[in-house]
Each structure stands twice: as C-alpha cells, then as structure tokens.
C-alpha cells in the first residue's frame, strides 16, 4: 500500500501529507467545488408469491464542474463483477478518471450496473447468482506484474497482501446468466439516456457490450463510445462471465440485413454484419501494453469497422505510454492514460460542432 508521505497525481494539489503531521487523511485532499447528486433508475415491479418487488434498479451518482464546458456528459460504466467505484479514487488514493473528467469540464454520471455495487441483487427476484470473484482471477486479469516484468504500472508489489485484500474487496458475483445482466444494463442505460439526453458512453472490460447495446436502443442519444479494454474477442467466451454469442454481445443486437439467431450471425461473412446503430459512430478502443485482454483489440476493431463504426485504436504503447495492464484506468499512471481519451473526446466534439 502507498505510504502516507508519498505524493500522487499531477502536482501539489494531490500531495498526501505526512502521517506525522497529525492530519486525518480526509483533511489532506484539497476542497473541490462542484455540483453533485445521486438518483435511481427504477426497475419493473414483479410479483413473487403474494408480494411485489422491484426488479434490477440502477444507482447513478453524478458530478459536474461549477462551469460545464463540454457539450456532452459522460456515462461511466464499470466492468464485470466491479462497481462504479472503479472510476473514483484509485486503489492507492489518487483521484480517478471520474474526477479528472470533471476537472476537464464534463458532467459525469457514474453508474452501479444492476445487481452490482449499490444496485441491489436478490436471487429470489433476479435469478441465480454466479461464482464469487477469486483472488486467483484478480491476479490473472489485473496483476500480470506478478509474472511479467514489463507490467510496470501496477499499484502494489506482489507480496503486499493488505493492498491486494483491499483491491479484491470491491468485487462481487454477477448473475449466472450473462444475457440476464446485459438485458438489464441495456434497459436501464436506455432509461438513463432518456433522462439526460445525448451523451458519450465510457465502458471498461465486461461492460464493453453495454456500449453497443445502449447505442442499439438509443442511437440518437449515444454520441460516441470509449471502450477501455473491452471484453472480447467477437463470439468469445470469458470464464465465469459468458459468451458473446451475437458477436459483440450475448443478447440480440440489430443487424442489417437482419439476423434471427446467434448461429446466423456466426455463419455470416463478417463484412455483411452491419449494425445500423453504429453506422458512423465514433468509437475509441483503448488497450494497454501487457493486458491479457489487449490481444483481442484488433479483432474487436475489425468487427466494429464491418459494423459501420468510425473506429480509432488507442493502443497505449503506440502513444508512448508503456507498461499498462487491464486496470489501466486506475494504475500508477492513470493521469497519463486518460490523456489520449481526453484528446479523442475533444476531436469528436469538434467534428460535431
């Protein structure tokens, strides 16, 4: 874990004061001036026996700078088995991407996907729960530094069990059926977009599918998509999560010409798998140098191009940013990894103005 007298971030505003100074950690962070709030996207009422329950609500926290200078808000969608906190303070105590986006002038909406984080999960209502998140899975996906010398940006050393305990604490099980949670995510994101209007979706890992599904539901409300280390490859199977049986998703997405079944999609020539909702859609695929997932980025990009999206590959080592893994949004150099995304967003806004 980081020592109390270490300095993080981009300058003196993020300096963590010495523990010897006798100042509580909550007094060490500079005061922020912003507008903030929270609300719920409710789920449907369902009957179980004699009682009525709510099915899959979604928690939303939002923050906006005193003066919003960017034309579109950002919706940050966390990865599988995680929660919206992965966009907030980093595991070593620095401001995360959510705050950096606010500082850059964006209104930001951070969700806890249905069944995750502050969004409740009752198996009686939602269906069977999947396996718990294991330490070994965390090591394999997020912590290749344990075996790869060039994973230079991970937050703590391999023998720091206290830090690893804190990191794994945020993870929880998903519904057993991937189609269940992707259907819920699609529906709740559509309702959120109806409420806030046109926005940019920023997804990570297993939530990559949510970007395509939200665009399919609300094509006029999804301005662009930034997908960080998206789950893949197309049609791929991810252990303890599920299979992208419809190509980019585990549930139906609208193709032109229409495809009635996953088997039809898989059998089709990839160049014919156009997705009208993604036609001309600006998409940035962000990938790290040593992430196990990054090897699928080229296949995802090719599939998205066939679908009709206007795709840019933001492969960090190609941009001079080295040593990042799957958790690049909160690794040691997270203030550096966000910079290509901020530049890309500015470019997208300029083309729409």
Question: Which tens digits make up the pLDDT trace of 301-353?
Answer: 999 999 999 999 999 999 999 999 999 999 999 999 999 999 999 999 999 87
205 in active site: yes
Q: Which of 119, 205, 287, 291 is catalytic?
A: 205
Q: How confident is the model at residue 25 (pLDDT cuts 50, 70, 90)?
A: confident
DSSP class of residue 256? Answer: B
At residue 300, the pLDDT reads: 98
pLDDT at residue number 20: 52
Q: Does residue 14 register a pLDDT over 80?
A: no
Torsion of CA 141, 99, 105, 27, to 10 degrees: -170
Mean pLDDT of the chain: 93
DSSP string, 92-120: TS---HHHHHHHTT--EEEEE-TTSTTS-
The confidence band for 2, taking pLDDT boundaries of 50, 70 and 90, is very low
Domains and CATH numbers, the chain: 1-31 (no CATH), 36-352 (3.40.50.1820)
Taking 70 as the threshold, does the pLDDT of residue 19 lie above it?
Answer: no
Which pTM value belongs to this model?
0.93
Count the helix, strand and coil residues of the chain and give each as a percent rounded to the nearest 5. 35, 20, 45
- pLDDT at residue 345, as a whole number: 98
- SS3 state at 44: strand
Query: Could you count the other beta carbons within 10 Å of the beta carbon of residue 32?
Result: 13
For residue range 72-95, list pLDDT tens digits in order: 999 999 999 999 999 999 999 999
User: Rounded to an integer, what distance in angstroms lies between the CA atom of residue 32 and that of residue 66?
Assistant: 10
Q: Which residue has the higher pLDDT, 24 or 17?
A: 24
Whether residue 108 is predicted with pLDDT greater than 90 in this model: the reply is yes
| DSSP structure string for 185-233 | HHHHHHHHHHHH-SEEEEEEGGGHHHHHHHHHH-TTTEEEEEEES-S-S
Q: What is the pLDDT of residue 146?
A: 82
State the pLDDT at residue 284: 99
CA-CA distances (angstroms) from residue 197 to 84, 194, 200, 264, 284? 21, 6, 10, 34, 21
Residue 174 clears pLDDT 90, i.e. is over it:
yes
Which spans in the chain are helix H? 97-103, 123-126, 135-142, 161-168, 178-196, 208-217, 262-267, 297-307, 334-352
Per-residue pLDDT at 13? 38
Residue 2: how many other CB atoms lie within 10 Å: 18
Q: Which of 2-6, 98-102, 155-159, 301-305 has the lowest mean pLDDT?
A: 2-6
Please state which of the ranges 142-146, 151-155, 157-161 shows the lowest mean pLDDT.
Answer: 142-146
Q: How far is CA 243 from the centre of its chain?
A: 18
- Cα–Cα separations (whole angstroms), residue 100 to 168, 247, 314, 329: 24, 33, 19, 11
220-237 tens-digit pLDDT: 999 999 999 999 999 999
């Amino acid at each position: 874990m980081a020592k109390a007298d270490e300095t993080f971030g981009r300058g003196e505003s993020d300096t963590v004061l010495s523990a010897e100074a006798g100042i509580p950690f909550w007094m060490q962070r500079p005061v922020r001036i912003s507008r903030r709030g929270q609300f719920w996207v409710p789920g449907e009422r369902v009957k179980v026996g004699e009682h009525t329950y709510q099915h899959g609500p979604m928690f939303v926290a939002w923050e906006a700078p005193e003066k919003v200078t960017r034309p579109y808000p950002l919706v940050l969608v966390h990865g599988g088995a995680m929660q919206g906190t992965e966009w907030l303070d980093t595991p070593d105590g620095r401001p995360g991407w959510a705050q950096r986006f606010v500082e850059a002038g964006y209104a930001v909406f951070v969700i806890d996907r249905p069944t995750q984080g502050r969004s409740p999960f009752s198996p009686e209502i939602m269906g069977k729960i999947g396996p718990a998140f294991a330490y070994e899975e965390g090591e394999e996906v997020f912590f290749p530094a344990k075996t790869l010398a060039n994973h230079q940006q991970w937050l703590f050393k391999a023998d720091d069990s206290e830090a690893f305990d804190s990191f794994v604490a945020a993870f929880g099980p998903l519904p057993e059926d991937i189609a269940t949670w992707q259907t819920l995510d699609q529906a709740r994101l559509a309702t959120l977009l109806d409420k806030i209007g046109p926005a940019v979706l920023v997804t990570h890992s297993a939530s990559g599918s949510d970007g395509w599904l939200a665009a399919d539901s609300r094509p006029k409300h999804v301005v662009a998509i930034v997908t960080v280390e998206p789950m893949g490859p197309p049609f791929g199977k991810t252990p303890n999560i599920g299979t992208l049986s419809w190509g980019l998703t585990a549930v139906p997405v609208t193709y032109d010409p229409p495809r009635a079944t996953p088997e039809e999609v898989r059998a089709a020539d990839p160049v014919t798998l156009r997705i009208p909702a993604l036609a001309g859609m600006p998409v940035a695929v962000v990938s790290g140098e040593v992430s196990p997932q990054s090897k699928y980025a080229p296949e995802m990009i090719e599939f998205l191009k066939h679908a009709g999206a206007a795709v840019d590959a933001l492969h960090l080592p190609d941009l001079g940013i080295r040593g990042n893994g799957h958790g690049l949004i909160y690794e040691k150099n997270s203030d550096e990894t966000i910079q290509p995304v901020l530049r890309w967003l500015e470019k997208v806004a300029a083309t729409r103005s």
